[in-house]
Chain A
């Protein structure tokens, strides 16, 4: 067992983990952060995508011990707090554009999309398609996911004009006032 200190969705945790424990299993089984899911065992599907120190990672390819001293953001940490808390613009766009059906890929898709928009705030359809290529969805045929990402991009650009280096956290705050709680 190895002791790790991590901040996950803004809360600090100190835990003993087996050295072989994957970050995704630590999140799900030790912290109860079950919003992040496992869809494969070969790091192909992206369902487990979270942000590690602001970068999208497949949490099934990261050991929990590698996250020691880091900040982890999951799908559960990007909206405002509480029931009715403001949604992240990407969450909202997935809802508006019908970018999900069963929703199993959705946490990973949203986390990957936020990362993509950080790199490229105004992606073309092709750039979105290539940007989320590491995340598989079996339900939607991707078209509405692409639409959602582009719509979120437009909204986020509106919220933080001319700031290509906007971090997801900054975008969260900047966009929050434009986002109403989902009915």
Chain B
């Protein structure tokens, strides 16, 4: 997959105005309503006559439904209707999967509500519609279901064996697809098997990327209002535009009759990048009843039935010579799809497929991945989607190779990474890395964390045989952002493009409305886009209003994920602004009785060159075209403009993350002493927002290393089904982060931005695990399975291996956990 050169080159390069707003730590516009409770969450919406839906969900992982009686539930007070899969079997179609990653990928189809078989715990089997939320929930207990159990498939390595029980007996195996990228075959590298045959040193490891839960704080919620043949859907979604197209195709509601609105959305992290079964069911129920319906999930439902993330078993082989020059990389991946393919379930590992070589100059590379069905809730995007998995594998195996060679892990990295002078650099996976300086970021990070003192302390503790050992772990990473060039997506069989759209409306009073197709849910678009437009149009920051998340307002959009918003959506905004200036120039020239060529545009004002101080402001031009009394012949009286930007390449943020970790060798307790990161995300539009994105990403990446794991028991029950058991870190569980930046603007877009949303989450996990291993490697430990619970760390030190499986969530306790603390505070303080 290489960046596609655009033969027609339709885009003349856009000129950025001198940065006045861009680069400022503007406080966020969106905060005003969020800190005062005036936010519009989907669950706040109340409509006249609105009904409430509640789902009966399967308590078993794999079974035939042999009997389903809802009559008693229908008789419950205030219940309006009860539906089962049979009621919608004809019209529910299949939830969409937009990414058939191979031509022969098997997709068994995904009903929104089970018809005669359930394939994971939490799958909806009936839906109650009632006048109140509580009446709907109460009636669930009156539904009578009999299940005939089928063998449960949970373990991927067993599921791919011949003779394994099948998740879907309509298909012949549990393998959905086999995806291969071979650099030798693609012509981007040497023959991998040969590289391994010739290698002086090889290291092989099996890494487990545990299953995670996105766990956005706002539970999913949807409201549908039908008005005859028109439908308005409000949903707590990252993707109102994509959802509209997909929901129209699934339900047969014509696209122009369906409006989708994402009001304020409380986080997503990929977890709300989905066309949810419940969204489709809300549409089907509203259509059937002709009345508005609402569904808001409980946290228990969210953890059980909203899609999960990660969940790979990775077999990684690296080949090198004895001096530490890497020669080849081979990755075999088993990726757990869960029971069905949702929107981009199969594509997540493919997003990582090109990133396993990381920042290193591997001459040979081969990647293969099996997508495997199991009786669990489907996996799909979670912050980083594929790239954290790849980064973890390469950054962990580099440490293992260093240990094998007896080399310093940083020295090994330096020896093999792409030099600053080598950009743009085409990798063995065929990607063209755009810009950066890995050495510079590393030097800054070493200084930030106080590396030499930490190494000295490590030495002291080692020599004195201190029960608390210190380790230092690195992650020198890059990621692929700015999703995505549409032609590249096409070459990967993805079902849509990767462009973004924006339009700018100049109001008569000179105020500016910016409509963006990118849909924020915490990222601060309203602020950053205002900064971009303020600079480009020379208008005050306060005069700009950013509109988003409503298909009736922003008709075109590809929404928000993959660190794409600023890189792609921001560029569309800049291009639209440039068109506004172009249109305004013609009007201004007319009004000033000058030639367009003689006009200059600075600080929001057109003036004849050499006569500063005279002229007309762009905001005055807006009023002039509104009145339209005097404008040139042959042009339209408007300066509004629209632009669509399709990137020509990905962008490649990079950085160096360093974790210093204390490991108590007696208890297995691990504690991050210090964490420093220096990231290059290209040009920074708002340093406050960038820092916030880094912090949030770091928290989630560290949480994967230390705390989080979705665990199913042997019957396929999710035992981490509440925040008591699924351990989201609290403020007390996380360290202080020291963050910094280097700035190498992305050459691929006029802003120079590379994307920041996922960086922290992608980079941090291996730094943390490498740090723990660095603390205890001298005790013979070479791997510890994530999350690094005290039990696992202790076992790895005292019993060998990687610490093994956790039988149940109860072994998750680590120090004072957020769940313990919360429970304690409830019993002590809150029950009054």
Residues of A with Cβ closer than 8 Å to B?
Answer: 18, 28-29, 33-47, 52, 55-58, 61-62, 66, 74-76, 79, 87, 91, 94-96, 98, 100-107, 110, 125, 128-130, 132-146, 182-183
Contact = CB atoms under 8 A, between A and B. Distances in A.
The 8 closest A-B pairs by CB, nearest first: A35-B37, A103-B34, A104-B266, A102-B522, A141-B695, A141-B699, A44-B723, A101-B522
17 contacts: A28-B44, A34-B41, A34-B44, A41-B299, A41-B722, A52-B832, A56-B830, A58-B830, A61-B831, A98-B688, A103-B30, A107-B37, A135-B730, A138-B728, A140-B692, A143-B695, A144-B695
A44 B523 contact: no
A42 B823 CA distance: 9
Contacts of B43: 34, 37-38
B563 to A, nearest CB: 15
A43 B266 contact: no
B749 to A, nearest CB: 23
B829 A146 contact: no
Contacts of B723: 40, 42, 44-45, 136
B28 A138 contact: no
A145 B731 CA distance: 9
Given A76-B36, A94-B31, A133-B821, A101 B692 contact: yes
A126 to B, nearest CB: 8
B32 A102 contact: no
A182 B265 CA distance: 22
Contacts of A182: 31-32
A47 B822 contact: no
A95 B32 CA distance: 8
Interface string B712-730: 0000000000111000101
Interface string B250-272: 00000000000000111101000
A141 B761 CA distance: 11
Nearest to B268: A102
A75 B28 contact: no
Interface residues of B, number: 68
Interface of B: 27-28, 30-39, 41, 43-44, 133-134, 215-219, 264-267, 269, 298-300, 521-524, 542, 688-689, 691-692, 695-700, 722-724, 728, 730-732, 734, 736-737, 760, 816, 818-819, 821-823, 825-826, 829-832
B518 to A, nearest CB: 15
Contacts of B722: 40-42, 44
A173 to B, nearest CB: 18
Nearest to B692: A98
Contacts of B724: 42, 44
Contacts of A103: 30-31, 33-35, 39, 264, 266, 522
A57 to B, nearest CB: 5
A95 B27 contact: yes
Contacts of A52: 832
Contacts of B216: 102, 104, 138
B30 to A, nearest CB: 7
B27 A132 contact: no
Contacts of A143: 695, 734, 736-737
B561 to A, nearest CB: 15
B299 A43 contact: no
A140 to B, nearest CB: 6
A41 B297 CA distance: 10
Contacts of A139: 217, 267, 522, 692, 696
A101 B524 contact: yes
A129 to B, nearest CB: 4
B84 to A, nearest CB: 25
A142 B699 contact: yes
Contacts of B134: 18
Given A42-B724, A57-B832, A104-B266, A132 B731 contact: yes
A107 B39 CA distance: 10
A28 B832 CA distance: 20
A183 B27 CA distance: 10
Nearest to B39: A103
B55 to A, nearest CB: 15
Nearest to A104: B266
A79 B130 CA distance: 37
Contacts of A34: 37, 41, 43-44
Nearest to A40: B299
Given A87-B35, A102-B217, A142-B730, 10 more contacts: A35-B38, A39-B299, A58-B826, A100-B31, A125-B736, A134-B818, A138-B728, A139-B217, A143-B695, A143-B736
A152 to B, nearest CB: 12
B198 to A, nearest CB: 45
A134 B133 CA distance: 27
Given A34-B44, A58-B830, A129-B732, A91 B267 contact: no
Given A101-B523, A136-B818, A140-B695, A95 B832 contact: no
A79 B818 contact: no
Contact of A43 (B36, B219, B826): B826
Given A43-B822, A96-B27, A133-B730, A138 B36 contact: no
- The residue in A41, A56, A132 that gathers the most chain B C-beta atoms within 10 A of its C-beta is A41
B818 to A, nearest CB: 6
A136 B727 CA distance: 10
A90 to B, nearest CB: 9
A62 B737 CA distance: 36
B35 A37 contact: no
A102 B823 CA distance: 25
B31 A41 contact: no
Nearest to B41: A37
A37 B218 contact: yes
Contacts of B215: 138
Contacts of A66: 832
Given A39-B217, A46-B822, A141 B732 contact: no
B36 A91 contact: yes
A43 B830 contact: yes
Nearest to A105: B217
Contacts of A47: 217
A183 B29 CA distance: 8
Nearest to A70: B832
A73 B293 CA distance: 31
Nearest to A149: B731
A41 to B, nearest CB: 5
A134 to B, nearest CB: 4
B237 to A, nearest CB: 13
Contacts of B133: 29
B827 to A, nearest CB: 10
B818 A130 contact: no
Contacts of B28: 95, 98
A74 B217 contact: no
Contact of A91 (B35, B265, B695, B830): B35
B700 to A, nearest CB: 8
A57 B265 CA distance: 25
Contact of A102 (B265, B542, B689, B699): B265
A58 B216 CA distance: 19
A137 B695 contact: no
Nearest to A143: B695
Contacts of A79: 36
B520 to A, nearest CB: 9
B741 to A, nearest CB: 16
Nearest to A111: B37
A133 B826 contact: no
B522 A62 contact: no
B41 A104 contact: yes
Contacts of B822: 43-46, 133-134
B691 A98 contact: yes
Nearest to A45: B723
A36 B39 CA distance: 10
Nearest to A39: B217
Contacts of A125: 736
Contacts of B265: 102
A106 B34 contact: yes
Contact of A140 (B36, B298, B696, B736): B696
